[in-house]
Amino acid sequence: MSDDWLPRRALVVGLGRTGRAALAALERRGVEASGIDRSLGNEDAAALDGADVLVKGPGVPPTNSVVMEARARGIPVWSELELGYRLLPDDVRIVGVTGTKGKTTTVRLLGAMFASAGRDVTLAGNEHTPVTELDRPRGDLVLELSSFALADVDRFRCDVAVLLNLEPDHLNWHGTLEHYRDAKLRIFDGARVKIAPRGFGVDGAIEFGPGDQLPAEPRIPGAHNRANAAAATAAARAAGVPDGAIADALRTFEGVPHRLELVRELRGVRYVNDSKATNTAAALRGVEAYPDPLHVVFGGSLKGEDFGPFARELPANVRTIHLIGEATDELAAALDAAGRTYDRDGDLEHALAHAASVADEGDIVLLSPACASFDQYENFEERGDRFRELVEALP
């Protein structure tokens, strides 16, 4: 893509890793760019003066005062994804993956499928390398796309666009389920091939589901992961990957850290790290992946979800529930209404020790929080790493 679209002056709002990558990419191309961040105390609408475009990091909500002022002034607002897309070579083929849950697993599985076929593939977006940080990728580019990134795109287009699922999440950021849904569905704008869950009603889409016939059975456990595998298979086929390579990846791909990750088996009890389950839909999938007796740790920071349906849907094999963090009171109220018993353990250390003390041979102790981590941890990775450390330290 030619550089005739480059702004003369740009403002980047939000200087996390993604925002810093966007700022650096603009500066490398001679754009007069500056960055502001609330945590630095320099977030001021005066920084918009003279700006041709505002690029925002994924943590910056639409209600941010500088973003709202930019819209009021008619200054275009782009996500880092939009900027990164405009910087890509024209010959890159993009497979985009979004959904409430399963994105990272599906993107990495797709990467394994392309690699098995001997094709050049780069993974980027969301929990991978920022798109603006890529150094002229070749061949296939598989992007993990959050609703935050998709909410502010303009020219961005996928060759193959995948929607895995759509359930309430990030409502504290988007404001309403409708706004969240609209952001997710932007992945289909201009896509050559659309792939969506069976029965979702996307016009012209190839549909998939957990019951699909696959070239091989996936190694990763759970019905939700079989659905992820079906989506990845459909996307890889649409991109021209042969079934033999797809089958090889399905048989060998072990999953991703913090998502149904078996940490240890001790005296017949399995300890599973599902810290990436940061909403109720993901936590319910984690619970439903196992028929065995479960001792589950729930809780963390609140995201605006209603825990009532989640509490009512918990299966009978959940034997004990251990609550931690900021969400304890709301989870407890929902569990009370559903007639489920629980313990208020406060933090992960006490919850794990309690769960381990009541688990019998053949049981599973599962961290699947149904909440974000920001009340007690920097991110879900830090929470999962701490769980892993605690499990490894069990006598």
- Give tens-digit pLDDT for 254-279: 888 898 999 999 999 999 999 999 99
pLDDT at 174: 60
Q: What is the pLDDT of residues 137-179, one digit of tens each?
A: 889 999 999 988 999 999 999 999 999 998 766 666 666 878 8
Q: What is the CATH superfamily name and number for domain 9-75? A: NAD(P)-binding Rossmann-like Domain (3.40.50.720)
d(CA 18, CA 343): 39
Tell me the average pLDDT across 101-119. 95
Check if the beta carbon of residue 227 is closer than 8 Å to that of residue 103: no
pTM of the model: 0.78
In CATH, what number does 83-252 get?
Answer: 3.40.1190.10
Delimit the domains of the chain by residue range: 9-75, 83-252, 261-392
Q: What is the CA radius of gyration of the chain?
A: 22
Ramachandran angles phi, psi of 150, nearest 5° = -75, -20
Band of pLDDT at residue 1, cut at 50, 70 and 90 = low
Superfamily designation of domain 261-392 = Mur ligase, C-terminal domain (3.90.190.20)
pLDDT band at 198 (very low <50, low <70, confident <90, very high): very high
Tokens linked to 201:
């009603």
